[in-house]
Structure 1
Amino acid sequence: MKIIQLEYFCAVSRFHSITQAAQHLYVTPPAISSAIKELEKEFSISLFTRSKNHVTLTKEGELFYQKAANLLQTINQTTSEFMDLGKQAIPIKVGIPPLLSTIFFPEMLIAFQNEYPDIPVELYEYGSLRAAKLVQEDALDLALVNMNFYELDKLNSYRILSDKIVFCVSKKHPLAKETSITVDLLKDEPLMMYNSDSVQNSTLNELFEAAGIKPNIIMQASQLYTIRNFISHNLGGACIYSSLLANMPEFAGIPIMPTVEQEIGIVWPKGKYLSSRVEKFINFTKKHAPAVTERLFAK
């Protein structure tokens, strides 16, 4: 049994697909199939029930996955501890949703590197749901997220600020001068929504569903640049964080009633070893958070 075999097996277990696991790990499907067959042969068990495009864990496979996942977690934690002992400059891997990255970065990253020049940081853009999942899987050390998702209790978290969602349109838009708006009034409005791994997207879909509305979605995007371009050409509107408007004075932000509050913060693993590097980043973020809030809402 080799560590790489366990990594391949656990990836297939999570994705229920050899092809998707191969894409995620940047290896070929035959390499993964061979590793799993070797495990099954070594331990004389059948790990998966296979169909044309889908694999499902057998009863023995489920038990094997629990043991393998725990073993890999222990190996990763031990490796991290050894790296700390050796004082090697291992980067902190931070997940950031594209919209939130415009609020907090690059200012916060620059400030952190000024204080800790010997600690490298790598940023990865994912929606909040995907970023939080990758933190649970140890693929990321921590993530900046919209905290309004149901599995938050599986992670440690720290709230940085409370924000609200507003309907953002061009100042030429017929609704631009409204002082507030309800979800019902958005029924026929061309809307730009976010990708499926966005908590904000889930929040909005729940609002529309509760109101019995099928929104007129003309685009799904993740980048603020794309959304701004569509709004500036008066092609539609988007529901965004009110704090984003501080850097978008050319647009009108209409409060949605009742108010849709959103909590923004950082998450990191529960019950796992944290390297001193990650602890420093978390403590720095907590210290830096009041300045971020003051900057955003002073404008």
Structure 2
Amino acid sequence: MNLKDFEYFFQLSQLNSYTAVAQHFGVSQPTITYAIKRLEEQFNTSLIIKDPSHRTVVLTHEGLILATHIEHILMELSVTRKEIQRASQKITTIGFPPIIRARIISKLLTKHKDISFLRQFNLHTEGSKSLLQELIQGEIDFSFIGSRTALSHPDLTIVPLYKREFYIIVSEKHPLAKRKEISFKDILNEDFIMLNSGHTHSDVFNHLNARYHNQARVIFELNEVSLVGQLVKENIGITLLTDFVLFTDTDGLVKIPFIEQEKQYFHVSYAYPTHAILNQDIQQLISLLTDIKDETISETQSTTEF
């Protein structure tokens, strides 16, 4: 079976034109035609509806089935190539969102004197949403991931680590600073300073805001947690964060829990492709994570102040 025939057929299912597929691959149109004929002979069925009145290619039911499976086959091959290339180059790439990294490494250092093997990793430090896509597409070997709800994916092994509560964080100068709990409805007119859309915090904000027809507004979207903290401390706006976040200086900041009906949580997991052959460094990391899995990373209690 010719892999190139699969690639031609899948593009034909997407572009619906022999000419367009030939141009896409830089080959002649008969090359595409012969590839489709070979596949039809291989599977002993018609993959294309033979109707001259159709200006574009229309797949038969059997053709649609094949196109769906080919998409998964090509994706798996792409992931496999990337994984083998990294392995041959002795490169292990893991995703480590900045918000999660500080807490995890801090806890590992507390429990283990020698974690020098972590230097062997090539770290990707984007937000969790970006890292999840990189993991699915085979760009990285392993990743920590934060999410609004517990994660699941058919191609990934996902192990929960922690669940942390989200809070509204304000300056001690803010009129809301004395509140013991709060509803999102109470802060629709406030100016929000948020981490950008690559972070789970943005998902939580959008989820709550949608309940109130998106009335709340964000005046700044930033990638640096420390800068968010500085602006909130100056009472320029308020933010929504989990206490999993480490500010370099929490003086002058107050965190307010949501009312029970609106509580949101930051789920922290690690994940890797289900069929991956994990190298020694990743296995060692997983072993360390197992040791701290049932412990509370943050000793911060759910009070109104940090």
Per the normalisation by structure 1, the TM-score is: 0.70
Name the CA distance, whole Å, in 1 between partners of 2:118 and 2:270. 22
User: In the alignment, which residue of structure 1 is the partner of 2:190?
Assistant: 189
Question: Is the CA contact (8 Å cut-off) linking 2:162 and 2:268 kept in structure 1?
Answer: yes
**Does 1:73 find its partner at 2:75?**
no
1:286 corresponding residue in structure 2: 290
Shift of 1:136: 1.1
Match for residue 132 of structure 2? 132
Q: 1: distance between equivalents of 2:101 and 2:116?
A: 20
Q: SS of 1:219's equivalent?
A: strand
1:257 is matched with: 259
Contact preservation (8 Å) 1:149, 1:199: no
Cα 1:279/1:252, change in 2 over 3 Å: same
SS at the partner of 2:25?
A: helix
1:10-55 CA-partner distances (Å, limit 9, x unpaired): xxx9xx9xxxxxxxxxxxxxxxx9983259868867xxxxxxxxxx
SS at the partner of 2:244?
helix
Note if contact 1:146-1:200 (Cα within 8 Å) is conserved in structure 2. Answer: no
The 1:279/1:37 distance shift into structure 2, 3 A limit, reads farther
Amino acid at match of 2:284: K
Alpha-carbon distance change, 140 to 126 in structure 1, aligned in 2, over 3 angstroms: same
Distance 2:110 2:91 in 1: 15
Is 1:274 the counterpart of 2:278 in the alignment? yes
Superposition RMSD in Å: 4.1
Distance 2:274 2:244 in 1: 29
CA contact (8 A) 2:168 2:240 kept: yes
Aligned residue identity for 2:79 = Q
CA distance in 2 between partners of 1:171 and 1:265 (Å)? 32
* 1:246 positional shift: 7.4
Q: 1:66 to 1:159 in 2, by over 3 A?
A: closer
Change in 2 beyond 3 A, CA 1:135/1:181: same
Where does residue 144 of structure 2 map in the other structure? 144
For 1:35 and 1:63, locate their aligned partners in 2 and report how far apart those are by CA, in whole Å: 21
Q: Quick one: distance in 2 between partners of 1:191 and 1:172?
A: 16
CA-CA distance at 1:130 after TM superposition: 1.2
**277 and 245 in structure 1: CA distance in 2 versus 1, 3 angstrom threshold:** closer
Seen in structure 2, the aligned counterparts of structure 1 residues 117 and 146 have a Cα distance that, compared at 3 Å, is closer
Q: Does 1:237 align with 2:218?
A: no
Aligned partner of 1:104 in structure 2 is 104
Q: Tell me which protein shows more helix as a share of its residues.
A: 1
Distance change >3 Å, CA 38–CA 281, structure 1 → 2: farther
Rounded to whole Å, the distance in 1 between the matches of 2:215 and 2:28 is 48
Aligned to 2:199: 198
CA shift, 1:65, in A, is 4.5
CA contact (8 A) 2:244 2:298 kept: no
CA distance in 2, matches of 1:39, 1:129: 40
Distance 1:243 1:39, change over 3 A: farther
Q: CA deviation at 1:67?
A: 3.7
One-letter amino acid of the counterpart of residue 158, structure 1: V
Shift of 1:128: 1.1
Q: CA deviation at 1:242?
A: 1.9
Residue equivalent to 1:37: 26
Equivalent pair of 1:195/1:221 in contact (CA under 8 Å):
yes
Check 1:96–1:213 CA distance in 2 against 1; reply closer, same or farther (3 A cut). Answer: same
Partner of 1:51: none
My pick for the range that moved more, 108-117 or 189-198, is 108-117
Q: 1:243 to 1:209 in 2, by over 3 A?
A: same
Alpha-carbon distance between aligned partners in 1 of 2:75 and 2:27, rounded to the nearest angstrom: 18
Counterpart CA distance in 2 for 1:246 and 1:289 is 23
Paired residue secondary structure (2:207): helix
- How many matched pairs? 262
Counterpart secondary structure, 2:176:
coil
Structure 1 runs (4+) deviating above 6 angstroms are: 58-63, 109-113
Counterpart of 1:153 in structure 2 is 153
Give deviations 1:118-175, integer Å, cap 9, x for gaps.
8601221211111111111111111111133576233212222110001111111111
